Amino acid sequence: MKKSFLNAEKPWLTAFLVEPELEENIRLMKQAISEGADSIGIEITRIKPEYWNEKDLTTLFSAAGDLPIYSCCYRWGFGEGKTDEEIAELSLLCAKCGSTLIDVMGDLYHSEPWQLTYNEEAVEKQKALIKQIHDLGCEVLMSAHNGGFFEKEQICAWMKAEEERGADVAKDIGLSDTEEQLLSALETFKLLNKELHIPYLFMTGGKYCYLTRELCGRLGGFMYLGKTSKEGVQPDVKTLKYMRDELTLR
């Protein structure tokens, strides 16, 4: 039985997989585990659709042993052109195949530029999906990738909305393209620590994103995301293991 992502003693060190081929993801997963990863994240919609079936996804998730799996199904990658209903069905398939934590987009069923909807019909459908995932014995993370810079109060409001919809974990990815935006992002951690009652994942993209990603666990986030390939802005697993386990902040 896989471990839960909830109530961990320290932030998770999650190796994030984005390769199109199943076997390459399994190879990188095992390499990351040998480097210290204690959990695995997989962007399912970056994997070729031919592997979106019970047999292959079960094989993929089982390769991590008892380490928990965080799976994401988004509208980009091979998810581009899929309906939100198809994305939801793929998320449910991940839950049935052994994933631990399922990412539900905050604007599922009603797309928004900042990826968090308040459309009443969409919100009710999100809540129903979250219940389905919980009934399958899995945990739910609700996510928003904002696509721009927003003040800390707005980010906190979105993440509180994710909490209110029944998510076990709230997630927001903002933007830090200037030093001022980076300072705002660091202040956001303090506000989230005060206002949220569930674990959260907050970090940014952009020119000045690296500090939010290298220190997110030290600042209150429940998880670090480590890249397993050359692609992406995440630090690698070895760097994050040092940041989490060895770095002394004075």
Q: Is residue 211 part of a domain?
A: yes
Angle at 231 between CA 227 and CA 234, to 5 degrees: 40
For residue 159, name the pLDDT band (cuts at 50, 70, 90). Answer: very high
Q: Is 2 a domain residue?
A: no
- Residues forming a β-bridge with 42: 17, 71
45 is written with which tokens?
């919609």
pLDDT at 233 over 90: no
Nearest of 102, 26, 92, 34 to residue 68 by alpha carbon: 102
Domain presence at residue 4:
no
**Residue indicated by tokens 């190879």:** 27
Place of tokens 């994933």: 99
Angle of helix 22-34 versus helix 54-62 axis, rounded to 10: 10
Q: Let me know: does 23 contact 48? Beta carbons within 8 Å.
A: no
- Residue 3 maps to a domain: no
Sign of CA dihedral 12, 31, 98, 173: positive
Instruction: Determine the Cα angle at 108 with ends 101 and 158, to 5°.
Output: 80
**In-domain check, residue 1:** no
DSSP 44: G
**pTM of this prediction exceeds 0.85:** yes
Backbone φ, ψ for residue 93 (5° rounding): -65, -40
Within a domain: residue 148?
yes
Q: Per the domain annotation, does 5 fall within a domain?
A: no
Q: Which residues pair with 175 in a beta bridge?
A: 205
- pLDDT tens-digit readout, 114-154: 999 999 999 999 999 999 999 999 999 999 999 899 999 99
Domain that holds residue 42: 12-245
Name which of 153, 141, 150, 134 is nearest 222 in CA terms: 141
pLDDT at 246 over 80: yes
pLDDT classification of 9: cutoffs 50, 70, 90? very high
Q: Using DSSP bridges, classify how beta strands 223-227 and 12-17 pair: parallel, antiparallel or unpaired.
A: parallel
Q: Is the pLDDT of residue 1 over 90?
A: no
Q: Count other Cβ atoms within 10 Å, centred on residue 74.
A: 19
User: Does any domain span residue 191?
Assistant: yes
Domain count, the chain: 1
In terms of Cβ atoms closer than 10 Å to its own Cβ (0-12, 13-18, 19+), residue 148 is exposed
- Reported as a single tens digit per residue, the pLDDT across 73-124 is 999 999 999 999 999 999 999 999 999 999 999 999 999 999 999 999 999 9
Looking up residue 33, the CATH number of its domain turns out to be 3.20.20.70
